[in-house]
Structure 1
């Protein structure tokens, strides 16, 4: 491995590590306001939705197929069902739709 590759890897490590550790250091003994806690609590859900949504539309040649699966998963999850059964239910709906 050449020196330039080592410098690149160390640089990428620093660029990734610093933004992740900076909030821990800055807010170590401070309590965030309730408003910011609510926003930060929803970041994983928003990120997951942003990652999944494009795949829903490009999952199949017909984008309605993916939308039907997403709607089924949403309705099952809205009823309060466990995540595993939500995924299995959505797969079941898509299986039935593919047979039609």
Structure 2
């Protein structure tokens, strides 16, 4: 079993026992992210196989990390495992821990 945690400094902003890892990015279920941390912005990008990514600013402890989280709201069929999930980068530290089950 794998668990994952996302932090900004010492503040935990997400933790899950149900991560999905795609291309080195850890995708957290939206329900496992702290409330009020994600602030939608207008940034978008296109991945040729996952689809269109939408971005969030990550706000915590009075600081805002621009476009530090992303999601694929309507992923392609090949990437359906990441629907309803958010990944972090750009200043958010993500760690995984594999435990015996």
TM-score bracket, normalised by the shorter chain, equals under 0.3
TM-score with structure 1 length normalisation? 0.21
**More helix per residue:** 1
Report which structure shows greater RCO (CA 8 Å, sep ≥6): 2
**Larger Rg, first or second structure (1 or 2):** 1
